[in-house]
Chains A and B, each alone.
Chain A
């Protein structure tokens, strides 16, 4: 029931908002909802589109879940995703041998994300500055970094559009089904989401991370290396979000451009919380939001309901969950009030 209630709320909010806007826009609410469903799961290619959309949400959602469980208020999955995509593009477009290039690209993405998040860890530990502030700032730095890269050093050889060249073939992820855009990163994301859950609930590191997240002073008294664990939590969370960016480039887009993320890192917060900060929940929530945005395109075409409304649905869902489930986040990100860790 704890899992089901937010999901029902989300569905209700989505339906109501779509209906209202269809009405305002002079269309029919029924048409809008029908289009939403058909567009997201109505055919095998629509299902594939939903799965492709779910992949970055799964990974960034898992990244946020790991952070929140560890007492780290990572609002920076967006920026970590972007630097991950940037690093993967650098590796994926470089000259040289192609063998195993995709693996290098994914690793570069994860590393870049980890470093980006570690900056915020440094601010929190060294300067007692809350990661809420620094990760938001770093999101924008990453956004303009990508924007600069695709307009400058990484711009395509043709110099026509603000985008990078296509990645070399060896850097692209395997697409096992002929004629489908589904890539192996979809499976990778599912596995990663499950692994994060296992890490948190079944390993010693996970126990320490959760202890630091739920009661840092007690964890310190227990002799846990809280500062080190905190840094690990930042870096791991950033690595997963960076991996998401790398998977998006190597699996779907094949190149980098400024708007490569329609806000995956922000939606990830809604995914993690709608999923109750558990693996199964995060997978379900990522699929739900992915279906919503895949269906939204169809809704816009056939019922005249703007696809941007998907954002409002995500936000409204998040708002309702935050109000219903006050205890879920009671202690996240609070070493003490300023976000620092007492020594």
Chain B
């Protein structure tokens, strides 16, 4: 039963990263680098907490997170795609704004009492029969809706990116926007669209954090998970399956850390926290076999 719980917990902890990473994957494939995904995720987490706390409804929380994420991503799109501001700077700005605003609003609206906030939990949706399968039953078939969303989106996006015209078009935007534009593709519109979808997913990642993984909100609760999502995209060499692998690695490592703490083993917890970052650096050290970064990643696209 220990293994079953471990796998289920790992998947719950992987989901916030996975959702944000799949969103960022789409964004980066279209040629945009949004390092503000940390801030978008944090805002989503806060919106989910605020809405779920106010309405006692997790559905409202999830919706609020997706909307907030989309709104912030559209702000990013306005500044970068429309006005041509630098993506890295705007992303960094977004992170600071999100940290400051959610912190201040949290203190003003939710944190006044000084006690920890307890939020309603996303209910698990059991898949009949399969739920009681050995070992993986609980992990794969007894989870909340957001876990299922991440697990279903992964193969969908993998197929979309590799085997459809839409995916080809998306990759063209990221690899050679000028060529894409010369074929009549609306580069800016499609990038904005991808940013909006990516923002919604990052927001949902935040909701998965506050409404499922932790059931509370504290200032700066994402604590770098958005950056891990960014790393996971690179780790997975810009593929959906790779993103799932990276997110699972992180989730399972975190779950393992809890187990080690429970067993009072003397491995410093900081080493576990460091692991996803070090592993990503190690993967980047390998010669890039297979997928590599979209060639126009992070660059401005000028119409002329």
Hey, what's the 0/1 contact readout for A95-128 against B, CB within 8 Å counting as 1?
A: 0000000000000000000000000000100011
In the complex formed, the residue of B with least CB distance to A336 is B295
Question: B298 to A319, Cβ gap below 8 A?
Answer: no
Question: B89 to A273, Cβ gap below 8 A?
Answer: yes
Interface of B is mostly: helix
B135: CB under 8 A from chain A?
no
Quick one: which of B274-298 are within 8 Å of A by CB?
274, 277-278, 280-281, 284-285, 287-288, 292-293, 295-298
A144: CB under 8 A from chain B?
yes
* A140 in contact with B277 given A148-B270, A311-B96 (CB within 8 Å): yes
- What total of A-B pairs shows CB separation below 8 Å? 166
A314: CB under 8 A from chain B?
yes
Bound complex: CA of A90 vs CA of B268, how far in Å?
A: 20
A177: CB under 8 A from chain B?
no
B71: CB under 8 A from chain A?
no
* A132 in contact with B33 given A24-B108, A123-B284 (CB within 8 Å): yes
* A319 in contact with B277 given A312-B99, A337-B298 (CB within 8 Å): no
Question: A147 to B270, Cβ gap below 8 A?
Answer: yes
Residues on the A chain within 8 Å of B89, using CB? 269, 273, 318, 321-322, 329
Question: A132 to B101, Cβ gap below 8 A?
Answer: no
Among the 9-residue stretches A167-175, A227-235, A302-310, the one with 4 or more Cβ atoms under 8 Å from chain B is A302-310
Residues on the A chain within 8 Å of B173, using CB? none
Question: B100 to A269, Cβ gap below 8 A?
Answer: no
Question: B299 to A151, Cβ gap below 8 A?
Answer: no
* A21 in contact with B104 given A129-B284, A337-B295 (CB within 8 Å): yes
Quick one: which of B195-250 are within 8 Å of A by CB?
219, 224, 227, 230-231, 234
Bound complex: CA of A330 vs CA of B292, how far in Å?
A: 24
Q: Which of B86, B105, B227, B287 has the most CB of A within 10 A?
A: B86
* A319 in contact with B93 given A148-B271, A151-B268, A308-B219 (CB within 8 Å): yes
Q: Which of B89, B95, B99, B101 has the most CB of A within 10 A?
A: B89
Residues on the B chain within 8 Å of A134, using CB? 281, 284
* A132 in contact with B288 given A308-B100, A329-B89 (CB within 8 Å): no
A25: CB under 8 A from chain B?
yes
In the complex formed, the residue of A with least CB distance to B272 is A144
Interface of A is mostly: helix
A280: CB under 8 A from chain B?
no
Among the 9-residue stretches B53-61, B77-85, B118-126, B161-169, the one with 4 or more Cβ atoms under 8 Å from chain A is B77-85
Bound complex: CA of A145 vs CA of B274, how far in Å?
A: 8
Residues on the A chain within 8 Å of B79, using CB? 319, 322-323
B103: CB under 8 A from chain A?
yes
B35: CB under 8 A from chain A?
yes
Question: A306 to B298, Cβ gap below 8 A?
Answer: no
Q: How far is the CB of A317 from chain B (nearest CB, A)?
A: 8
Of the candidates B219, B234, B274, which one forms a contact with A140 in the assembled complex, judged by CB atoms under 8 Å apart?
B274
Question: B96 to A266, Cβ gap below 8 A?
Answer: yes
* A151 in contact with B234 given A309-B100, A329-B86, A337-B299 (CB within 8 Å): no
Question: B293 to A319, Cβ gap below 8 A?
Answer: no
A37: CB under 8 A from chain B?
no
In the complex formed, the residue of A with least CB distance to B271 is A148
Bound complex: CA of A313 vs CA of B99, how far in Å?
A: 11
Of the candidates A127, A308, A322, A326, which one forms a contact with B104 in the assembled complex, judged by CB atoms under 8 Å apart?
A308
Bound complex: CA of A298 vs CA of B200, how far in Å?
A: 37
Bound complex: CA of A318 vs CA of B268, how far in Å?
A: 37
A56: CB under 8 A from chain B?
no
Q: How far is the CB of B21 from chain A (nearest CB, A)?
A: 13
- Supply 16 A–B pairs (Cβ within 8 Å), ascending by A: A25-B108, A73-B88, A134-B284, A136-B35, A138-B281, A144-B270, A151-B268, A308-B103, A311-B100, A312-B99, A316-B97, A319-B79, A319-B97, A337-B295, A338-B292, A338-B295
Closest CB pairs A-B (n = 10): A312-B100, A315-B96, A311-B100, A308-B103, A315-B97, A318-B93, A148-B270, A319-B93, A306-B104, A322-B85
